[in-house]
Structure 1
């Protein structure tokens, strides 16, 4: 992963493999074998994760999409 990549200003790189947005949603990067998965956890959810993505950009988009669906 390119740590110099610019991310949406709503997201903050909290720790090595952990990002959080200004609404409290989390993304955790998990390495499994030679692959990386990004587990998305929506604030207030009782699930361990709400979505899984294969890139940080995809994970951020999934969180935004899920939150957009909640407001419709």
Structure 2
């Protein structure tokens, strides 16, 4: 949908302890983007279930974003 210029997720009121949180969030965002950009009016559940994230890549990216020095000097960025 070209009318949507961006999405911001922020402002948690508590500490998140679920180590799979980022993966679930990435899946939700990927599926939401598919729905918003798809011209299909009735997206089937089987299509959404087929949209999966690359778990090792998400874990590496989150580690890079949260644990690296300034300038994102981790291996993922240097590739």
Tell me, yes or no, whether TM beats 0.5. no
Instruction: Answer 1 or 2: which has greater helix percent.
Output: 2
User: Between Structure 1 and Structure 2, whose CA radius of gyration is higher?
Assistant: 2
Instruction: Answer 1 or 2: which has greater strand percent.
Output: 1
Q: What TM-score, normalized by structure 2, do the two folds share?
A: 0.28
